[in-house]
Protein backbone atom coordinates (compact mmCIF):
# COMPACT_ATOMS: atom_id res chain seq x y z
CA UNK A 1 0.00 0.00 0.00
CA UNK A 2 1.24 3.45 -0.92
CA UNK A 3 1.31 6.26 1.63
CA UNK A 4 -0.05 9.50 0.16
CA UNK A 5 1.64 12.56 1.60
CA UNK A 6 -0.01 15.98 1.91
CA UNK A 7 2.44 18.56 3.25
CA UNK A 8 1.36 20.98 5.95
CA UNK A 9 1.40 24.47 4.36
CA UNK A 10 1.68 26.10 7.81
CA UNK A 11 4.46 24.36 9.76
CA UNK A 12 4.74 25.34 13.44
CA UNK A 13 7.81 26.93 15.00
CA UNK A 14 9.91 24.46 17.04
CA UNK A 15 9.59 24.63 20.82
CA UNK A 16 12.90 25.13 22.70
CA UNK A 17 14.15 21.87 24.27
CA UNK A 18 13.86 23.15 27.86
CA UNK A 19 10.15 23.86 27.33
CA UNK A 20 9.24 20.46 25.88
CA UNK A 21 8.28 18.37 28.93
CA UNK A 22 6.34 15.27 27.86
CA UNK A 23 3.59 15.00 25.26
CA UNK A 24 2.50 18.63 25.03
CA UNK A 25 3.93 19.65 21.65
CA UNK A 26 3.03 17.93 18.37
CA UNK A 27 4.70 17.87 14.98
CA UNK A 28 3.25 19.18 11.71
CA UNK A 29 1.95 15.88 10.32
CA UNK A 30 0.24 12.66 11.32
CA UNK A 31 -0.22 9.26 9.73
CA UNK A 32 -3.76 7.93 9.35
CA UNK A 33 -5.50 4.98 7.71
CA UNK A 34 -8.88 3.30 7.99
CA UNK A 35 -10.09 -0.26 8.26
CA UNK A 36 -13.30 -2.11 7.58
CA UNK A 37 -13.93 -5.83 7.27
CA UNK A 38 -14.65 -5.68 3.53
CA UNK A 39 -11.68 -3.57 2.47
CA UNK A 40 -9.08 -4.22 5.17
CA UNK A 41 -6.72 -1.32 5.89
CA UNK A 42 -6.91 1.41 3.24
CA UNK A 43 -6.32 5.08 2.45
CA UNK A 44 -2.95 5.25 4.15
CA UNK A 45 -1.88 8.87 4.22
CA UNK A 46 0.19 11.48 5.99
CA UNK A 47 -1.71 14.70 6.45
CA UNK A 48 -1.27 18.01 8.31
CA UNK A 49 -1.66 17.45 12.07
CA UNK A 50 -5.16 18.41 13.14
CA UNK A 51 -8.45 17.47 14.76
CA UNK A 52 -10.40 14.40 13.72
CA UNK A 53 -14.03 14.26 12.79
CA UNK A 54 -15.51 11.21 14.53
CA UNK A 55 -19.15 10.10 14.78
CA UNK A 56 -20.52 10.67 18.31
CA UNK A 57 -21.76 7.07 18.49
CA UNK A 58 -18.28 5.67 17.73
CA UNK A 59 -17.38 2.54 19.70
CA UNK A 60 -14.32 4.20 21.17
CA UNK A 61 -16.37 6.78 23.09
CA UNK A 62 -18.84 4.31 24.58
CA UNK A 63 -17.04 1.02 24.99
CA UNK A 64 -13.37 1.98 25.06
CA UNK A 65 -12.26 0.17 21.90
CA UNK A 66 -8.77 1.69 21.84
CA UNK A 67 -5.17 0.54 21.97
CA UNK A 68 -1.90 2.44 21.70
CA UNK A 69 1.87 2.20 21.67
CA UNK A 70 4.78 4.40 22.66
CA UNK A 71 8.26 4.46 21.16
CA UNK A 72 10.90 7.07 20.42
CA UNK A 73 13.06 8.32 17.57
CA UNK A 74 16.52 9.34 18.80
CA UNK A 75 19.09 11.65 17.25
CA UNK A 76 22.64 10.28 17.31
CA UNK A 77 25.81 12.38 17.78
CA UNK A 78 26.35 12.30 13.99
CA UNK A 79 22.86 13.71 13.39
CA UNK A 80 21.31 10.43 12.18
CA UNK A 81 17.90 9.31 13.44
CA UNK A 82 17.12 5.88 14.82
CA UNK A 83 14.30 3.90 16.38
CA UNK A 84 14.68 1.41 19.23
CA UNK A 85 13.19 -2.07 18.67
CA UNK A 86 10.19 -0.74 16.72
CA UNK A 87 9.02 -4.22 15.67
CA UNK A 88 8.55 -5.08 19.35
CA UNK A 89 6.04 -2.24 19.62
CA UNK A 90 4.23 -3.32 16.49
CA UNK A 91 4.02 -6.92 17.73
CA UNK A 92 2.77 -5.78 21.12
CA UNK A 93 0.17 -3.64 19.39
CA UNK A 94 -1.01 -6.71 17.49
CA UNK A 95 -1.26 -8.60 20.80
CA UNK A 96 -3.28 -5.72 22.27
CA UNK A 97 -5.46 -5.73 19.12
CA UNK A 98 -6.10 -9.45 19.52
CA UNK A 99 -7.28 -8.91 23.10
CA UNK A 100 -9.61 -6.08 22.11
CA UNK A 101 -10.90 -7.66 18.87
CA UNK A 102 -9.37 -4.87 16.80
CA UNK A 103 -7.73 -5.64 13.43
CA UNK A 104 -4.13 -6.75 13.04
CA UNK A 105 -1.51 -4.54 11.44
CA UNK A 106 0.85 -5.78 8.79
CA UNK A 107 4.21 -5.57 10.61
CA UNK A 108 6.20 -4.44 7.62
CA UNK A 109 3.66 -1.82 6.61
CA UNK A 110 3.35 -0.45 10.15
CA UNK A 111 7.14 -0.09 10.23
CA UNK A 112 7.06 1.71 6.90
CA UNK A 113 4.38 4.06 8.24
CA UNK A 114 6.52 4.88 11.30
CA UNK A 115 9.61 5.39 9.22
CA UNK A 116 7.88 7.54 6.61
CA UNK A 117 6.40 9.83 9.26
CA UNK A 118 9.68 10.16 11.19
CA UNK A 119 11.58 10.79 8.00
CA UNK A 120 9.16 13.57 7.00
CA UNK A 121 9.36 15.06 10.51
CA UNK A 122 13.13 14.67 10.86
CA UNK A 123 13.64 18.32 11.77
CA UNK A 124 11.37 17.71 14.76
CA UNK A 125 13.72 15.13 16.30
CA UNK A 126 15.50 17.24 18.92
CA UNK A 127 19.24 16.90 19.52
CA UNK A 128 19.64 18.24 23.08
CA UNK A 129 20.65 15.70 25.76
CA UNK A 130 17.81 13.36 26.83
CA UNK A 131 15.36 14.64 24.24
CA UNK A 132 13.71 12.53 21.56
CA UNK A 133 10.67 12.37 19.31
CA UNK A 134 8.00 10.30 21.06
CA UNK A 135 5.82 8.34 18.63
CA UNK A 136 2.30 7.39 19.59
CA UNK A 137 0.64 4.88 17.26
CA UNK A 138 -2.99 4.24 18.26
CA UNK A 139 -6.09 2.54 16.95
CA UNK A 140 -9.74 2.92 17.79
CA UNK A 141 -13.08 1.46 16.80
CA UNK A 142 -15.41 3.91 15.12
CA UNK A 143 -18.56 2.08 14.16
CA UNK A 144 -21.45 4.53 14.39
CA UNK A 145 -23.49 2.01 16.39
CA UNK A 146 -24.48 1.88 20.03
CA UNK A 147 -24.91 -1.88 20.19
CA UNK A 148 -22.21 -3.64 22.20
CA UNK A 149 -20.42 -5.51 19.48
CA UNK A 150 -16.93 -6.13 18.13
CA UNK A 151 -15.58 -3.45 15.85
CA UNK A 152 -16.08 -3.39 12.10
CA UNK A 153 -14.67 0.06 11.31
CA UNK A 154 -11.42 1.21 12.76
CA UNK A 155 -8.91 4.06 12.46
CA UNK A 156 -5.15 3.86 13.02
CA UNK A 157 -2.99 6.93 13.53
CA UNK A 158 0.55 7.82 14.43
CA UNK A 159 1.18 11.17 16.05
CA UNK A 160 4.59 12.47 17.09
CA UNK A 161 5.69 14.68 19.97
CA UNK A 162 9.16 16.02 20.71
CA UNK A 163 9.84 15.28 24.39
CA UNK A 164 12.24 15.87 27.25
CA UNK A 165 12.04 14.08 30.62
CA UNK A 166 8.85 12.25 31.61
CA UNK A 167 9.41 13.01 35.29
CA UNK A 168 10.24 16.49 36.51
CA UNK A 169 12.85 14.78 38.74
CA UNK A 170 14.88 13.75 35.61
CA UNK A 171 17.34 11.08 36.78
CA UNK A 172 16.79 11.89 40.45
CA UNK A 173 15.01 9.21 42.49
CA UNK A 174 11.20 9.34 42.46
CA UNK A 175 8.83 8.62 45.35
CA UNK A 176 6.06 6.18 44.57
CA UNK A 177 2.87 5.27 46.41
CA UNK A 178 1.82 1.63 46.69
CA UNK A 179 -1.92 1.54 46.04
CA UNK A 180 -3.94 -0.70 48.35
CA UNK A 181 -7.53 -0.01 47.31
CA UNK A 182 -7.87 0.30 43.54
CA UNK A 183 -6.37 -2.31 41.26
CA UNK A 184 -5.18 -1.77 37.70
CA UNK A 185 -5.70 -5.19 36.20
CA UNK A 186 -6.49 -8.80 36.94
CA UNK A 187 -5.46 -12.01 35.25
CA UNK A 188 -7.87 -12.61 32.39
CA UNK A 189 -8.43 -8.88 32.08
CA UNK A 190 -6.57 -6.46 29.83
CA UNK A 191 -3.44 -5.72 31.89
CA UNK A 192 -1.03 -7.13 29.31
CA UNK A 193 -2.66 -5.10 26.54
CA UNK A 194 -1.86 -1.44 26.03
CA UNK A 195 -5.46 -0.27 25.94
CA UNK A 196 -6.69 3.15 27.00
CA UNK A 197 -9.10 1.73 29.58
CA UNK A 198 -6.23 0.46 31.76
CA UNK A 199 -5.00 4.02 32.09
CA UNK A 200 -8.40 5.62 32.59
CA UNK A 201 -9.06 3.22 35.46
CA UNK A 202 -5.79 4.24 37.10
CA UNK A 203 -6.55 7.98 37.30
CA UNK A 204 -8.21 7.88 40.72
CA UNK A 205 -5.22 6.29 42.44
CA UNK A 206 -2.91 8.53 40.44
CA UNK A 207 -4.75 11.60 41.68
CA UNK A 208 -4.50 10.41 45.28
CA UNK A 209 -0.76 9.80 44.87
CA UNK A 210 -0.26 13.23 43.33
CA UNK A 211 -2.15 14.95 46.13
CA UNK A 212 0.15 13.26 48.61
CA UNK A 213 3.21 14.39 46.66
CA UNK A 214 4.15 11.13 44.95
CA UNK A 215 5.09 10.80 41.28
CA UNK A 216 3.19 7.63 40.46
CA UNK A 217 1.36 4.59 41.74
CA UNK A 218 2.81 1.12 42.24
CA UNK A 219 0.07 -1.44 41.60
CA UNK A 220 -0.46 -4.66 43.48
CA UNK A 221 -2.01 -7.81 42.03
CA UNK A 222 -5.80 -7.68 41.87
CA UNK A 223 -6.50 -10.99 43.60
CA UNK A 224 -4.36 -11.24 46.73
CA UNK A 225 -3.33 -7.61 46.77
CA UNK A 226 0.11 -8.49 47.99
CA UNK A 227 2.33 -9.00 44.96
CA UNK A 228 3.99 -6.06 43.28
CA UNK A 229 3.01 -5.63 39.62
CA UNK A 230 4.13 -2.41 37.92
CA UNK A 231 4.02 1.38 38.02
CA UNK A 232 1.60 3.48 35.92
CA UNK A 233 4.02 3.92 33.03
CA UNK A 234 6.93 1.64 33.94
CA UNK A 235 7.84 -1.89 34.90
CA UNK A 236 9.79 -2.25 38.15
CA UNK A 237 12.99 -3.99 39.19
CA UNK A 238 14.61 -4.53 42.58
CA UNK A 239 18.12 -5.48 43.54
CA UNK A 240 17.82 -7.80 46.54
CA UNK A 241 21.25 -8.98 47.63
CA UNK A 242 22.87 -10.09 44.38
CA UNK A 243 19.61 -10.97 42.69
CA UNK A 244 17.67 -8.65 40.38
CA UNK A 245 13.98 -9.33 40.84
CA UNK A 246 11.22 -8.19 38.51
CA UNK A 247 7.57 -9.25 38.62
CA UNK A 248 6.81 -12.16 36.27
CA UNK A 249 4.54 -11.49 33.29
CA UNK A 250 1.43 -13.18 34.63
CA UNK A 251 -1.04 -11.53 32.25
CA UNK A 252 -1.91 -8.47 34.30
CA UNK A 253 1.37 -6.62 33.65
CA UNK A 254 2.40 -4.83 30.48
CA UNK A 255 5.32 -6.70 28.84
CA UNK A 256 7.59 -3.68 28.62
CA UNK A 257 10.17 -3.46 25.87
CA UNK A 258 12.49 -1.55 28.18
CA UNK A 259 11.96 -4.32 30.78
CA UNK A 260 12.89 -6.96 28.23
CA UNK A 261 15.95 -4.95 27.15
CA UNK A 262 17.06 -4.41 30.75
CA UNK A 263 16.76 -8.13 31.48
CA UNK A 264 18.82 -8.96 28.38
CA UNK A 265 21.47 -6.37 29.26
CA UNK A 266 21.68 -7.50 32.88
CA UNK A 267 21.93 -11.21 32.04
CA UNK A 268 24.56 -10.42 29.42
CA UNK A 269 26.56 -8.70 32.14
CA UNK A 270 26.34 -11.72 34.41
CA UNK A 271 23.62 -10.59 36.79
CA UNK A 272 21.13 -13.10 38.07
CA UNK A 273 17.68 -11.85 37.01
CA UNK A 274 14.58 -13.55 38.39
CA UNK A 275 11.14 -12.97 36.90
CA UNK A 276 8.96 -14.06 39.77
CA UNK A 277 6.38 -13.02 42.32
CA UNK A 278 7.63 -10.32 44.69
CA UNK A 279 5.37 -9.43 47.60
CA UNK A 280 5.16 -6.32 49.74
CA UNK A 281 6.07 -8.58 52.71
CA UNK A 282 9.28 -9.62 50.94
CA UNK A 283 9.99 -5.97 50.15
CA UNK A 284 9.47 -5.06 53.81
CA UNK A 285 11.79 -7.88 54.99
CA UNK A 286 14.44 -7.04 52.40
CA UNK A 287 14.30 -3.43 53.50
CA UNK A 288 14.57 -4.30 57.19
CA UNK A 289 17.48 -6.70 56.69
CA UNK A 290 19.37 -4.33 54.41
CA UNK A 291 19.14 -6.80 51.50
CA UNK A 292 17.20 -4.32 49.36
CA UNK A 293 19.94 -2.42 47.54
CA UNK A 294 18.19 -0.66 44.66
CA UNK A 295 14.84 -0.21 42.96
CA UNK A 296 14.07 1.36 39.62
CA UNK A 297 11.34 1.67 37.06
CA UNK A 298 11.84 1.23 33.33
CA UNK A 299 9.77 2.29 30.36
CA UNK A 300 10.04 4.11 27.05
CA UNK A 301 8.81 7.45 28.34
CA UNK A 302 10.55 7.22 31.73
CA UNK A 303 13.71 5.40 30.46
CA UNK A 304 15.37 4.02 33.65
CA UNK A 305 14.20 5.85 36.72
CA UNK A 306 15.58 5.26 40.23
CA UNK A 307 13.01 4.79 42.99
CA UNK A 308 14.03 6.51 46.21
CA UNK A 309 10.95 5.92 48.33
CA UNK A 310 8.10 3.44 48.27
CA UNK A 311 5.23 4.32 50.54
CA UNK A 312 2.39 2.09 51.71
CA UNK A 313 -0.02 3.67 54.18
CA UNK A 314 2.15 5.18 56.93
CA UNK A 315 5.12 3.02 56.12
CA UNK A 316 7.98 4.49 54.10
CA UNK A 317 10.66 2.32 52.54
CA UNK A 318 13.74 4.36 51.73
CA UNK A 319 15.91 2.75 49.11
CA UNK A 320 19.66 3.26 48.75
CA UNK A 321 19.49 6.41 50.81
CA UNK A 322 17.27 8.00 48.13
CA UNK A 323 20.24 7.98 45.75
CA UNK A 324 20.71 6.40 42.35
CA UNK A 325 22.38 2.98 42.73
CA UNK A 326 25.24 1.48 40.72
CA UNK A 327 23.15 -1.03 38.75
CA UNK A 328 20.47 1.57 37.98
CA UNK A 329 23.16 3.93 36.72
CA UNK A 330 24.85 1.21 34.67
CA UNK A 331 21.55 0.26 33.06
CA UNK A 332 20.65 3.87 32.39
CA UNK A 333 24.05 4.59 30.82
CA UNK A 334 24.03 1.48 28.65
CA UNK A 335 20.44 1.71 27.48
CA UNK A 336 20.49 5.43 26.76
CA UNK A 337 23.95 4.99 25.18
CA UNK A 338 22.54 2.50 22.68
CA UNK A 339 19.31 4.44 22.12
CA UNK A 340 21.05 7.74 21.41
CA UNK A 341 23.79 6.04 19.37
CA UNK A 342 26.66 6.81 21.75
CA UNK A 343 27.36 3.11 22.33
CA UNK A 344 27.67 0.28 19.86
CA UNK A 345 24.47 -1.75 19.46
CA UNK A 346 25.64 -5.33 19.61
CA UNK A 347 22.10 -6.61 20.14
CA UNK A 348 20.55 -5.48 16.84
CA UNK A 349 18.05 -3.25 18.64
CA UNK A 350 18.57 -0.16 16.53
CA UNK A 351 16.56 0.61 13.40
CA UNK A 352 18.11 3.48 11.43
CA UNK A 353 15.66 5.85 9.75
CA UNK A 354 16.62 6.84 6.24
With H, G, I as helix, E, B as strand and everything else as coil, classify residue 116: helix
> Does 230 help bind ligand PLP (rule: CB under 6 A)?
yes
**Least Å distance between CB 204 and ligand COI?**
16
Question: Distance between CA 24 and CA 8 in Å, rounded?
Answer: 19
Q: Which of 195, 220, 254, 286 binds ligand PLP (CB under 6 A)?
A: 254
Q: Which of 96, 165, 216, 258 binds ligand PLP (CB under 6 A)?
A: 258
Q: Which of 299, 308, 325, 341 binds ligand PLP (CB under 6 A)?
A: 299
Question: Distance between CA 142 and CA 22 in Å, rounded?
Answer: 28
Site map (CB under 6 A) of ligand COI, residues 21-60, x = contact: ----------------------------------------
254 binds, among ligand COI, ligand PLP, none (CB under 5 to 8 A by kind): ligand PLP
Stretch touching ligand PLP by CB under 6 A, among 99-107, 109-117, 210-218, 227-235: 227-235
> Does 301 help bind ligand COI (rule: CB under 6 A)?
yes
Question: Distance between CA 308 and CA 189 in Å, rounded?
Answer: 31
Give the H or E element holding residue 133: strand 132-141
> Does 300 help bind ligand COI (rule: CB under 6 A)?
yes
Q: Residue 196 in contact with residue 237, Cβ under 8 Å? A: no
φ/ψ of 286, rounded to 5, equals: -65, -35
**Least Å distance between CB 70 and ligand COI?**
2
Site map (CB under 6 A) of ligand PLP, residues 38-67, x = contact: ------------------------------
Give the H or E element holding residue 216: strand 216-220
Using the CB atoms, write b or e for 244-276: b if 16+ within 10 Å: bbbbebeebbbbbbbbebbbebbeeeebebeee
**How does DSSP assign 9-55, residue by residue?**
SSPPPPPPGGG--SS----SEEEEEEEETTTEEEEEEEEES------
Which residues of the shown chain bind ligand PLP in the complex (CB under 6 A)? 70, 230, 232-235, 254, 256-259, 299-300
Site residues (vs ligand COI, CB under 6 A) = 70, 233, 299-301
Amino acid sequence: MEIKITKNPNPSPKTPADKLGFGKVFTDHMFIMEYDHDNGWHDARIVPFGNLSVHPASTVFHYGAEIFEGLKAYRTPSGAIQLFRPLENIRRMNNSAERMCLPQLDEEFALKALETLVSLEKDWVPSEPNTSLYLRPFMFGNDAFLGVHTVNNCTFLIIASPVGSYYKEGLNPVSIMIETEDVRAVRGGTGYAKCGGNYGASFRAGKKAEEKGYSQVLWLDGVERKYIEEVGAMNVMFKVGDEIVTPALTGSILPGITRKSCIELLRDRGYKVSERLFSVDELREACASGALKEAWGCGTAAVVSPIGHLVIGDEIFTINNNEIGAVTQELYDTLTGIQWGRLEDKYGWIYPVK
